[in-house]
Amino acid sequence: MKIEKISSTPELKKNILHTKLDLKNKTLVTIKRKGKMLDFIFDDGSHLLSHLGMTGTWLVGEKIHSTKHTHLTLQSQNITLAYDDPRRFGHMYYYSESEATEKLDELGLDLADPDFNLEYLTKSLKRYPERALKVTLLDQKMFAGSGNYIANEICARAGIRPTRKCKKIKEEEFQKILKAIQDVLGPALASGGTTFQGGYRDTSGEKGQGVQHLVVFYQKICQLCKKTEVKKIILAQRGTYYCPSCQK
């Protein structure tokens, strides 16, 4: 699509966009995704990187009904792309090819990447031995696309407390964590609960459509053992949920 019209809110430049935007008459060639970063690639080699934050969503359609939260609208003759972000936690950068490559290389593998395997997982978790498991699972430099509810759910399904230090994870538990990641992502990806299409909701307590699969996050009773009350703590400033019976 060739960008013919661009409109934005003052908030875009104040809070979201960190570089100068120059897209007029450029043609969008493709959109790629790495974790929560979308990469819009244009015909002159420039990139618009869009990190969705917690509430960012891109809408695509012939015509888009914009709201006060629609911070950027890109229009071509027959298609419109609009960035909607009620809480403005998203970030955007307009970069040259080399700047974009550098920025994207800082991000780790996407949890859903086919190359995300046991070896990568083990190596990443061993990198900071003193850190709590859940804190590392939230580190986008290793686990791109992870988020608070995903990290809580991974710990639960792996049977490990979120606070357990990485150096205390036993060899046989790495496989359990990998399996847990696949279990958590499977239904979430299928129902759009964590992806670009579905946006990502958690701190506000709004629940994505993947909610029926949650076992501890925002649950009163653990949905694995169906009897123990879920404990909530704050770990590295994030709401953290675990089952004292199922997680050791």
Q: Does 59 bind Zn ion (CB under 5 A)?
A: no
Kindly tell me which residue out of 27, 101, 175, 245 binds Zn ion, with binding defined by CB under 5 A. Answer: 245
Nearest residue to 227 via CA among 219, 237, 235 = 219
Q: Does 229 bind Zn ion (CB under 5 A)?
A: no
Residue nearer to Zn ion on the CB measure, 49 or 215: 215
Question: Shortest approach of Zn ion to residue 224 CB, angstroms?
Answer: 5
Residue nearer to Zn ion on the CB measure, 102 or 229: 229
What is the contact mask toward Zn ion in residues 208 to 227, using x (rule: CB under 5 A)? --------------x-xx--
Residue nearer to Zn ion on the CB measure, 98 or 245: 245
Q: Write the CB contacts of 198 (distance below 8 Å, at least 6 apart in sequence).
A: 191, 192, 208, 209, 210
CB half-sphere exposure, 50, CA atoms < 13 A: 26
Q: Where are the alpha helices (DSSP H) in the chain?
A: 10-11, 97-105, 118-126, 133-137, 148-158, 171-190
Decide: 151 and 158 in contact? Cβ < 8 Å.
Answer: no
| 13-42: contacts with Zn ion (CB under 5 A) | none
Question: Shortest approach of Zn ion to residue 228 CB, angstroms?
Answer: 4
Residue nearer to Zn ion on the CB measure, 24 or 227: 227
Residue nearer to Zn ion on the CB measure, 124 or 247: 247
**181: buried, middle or exposed (CB in 10 Å: 19+, 13-18, 0-12)?**
buried
In angstroms, how far is CA 62 from the centroid of its own chain? 27
Q: Does 190 bind Zn ion (CB under 5 A)?
A: no
Q: Does 109 bind Zn ion (CB under 5 A)?
A: no
30: left (phi over 0), alpha (psi -120 to 50) or beta: beta
Where does this chain bind Zn ion (CB under 5 A)? 222, 224-225, 228, 243, 245-246
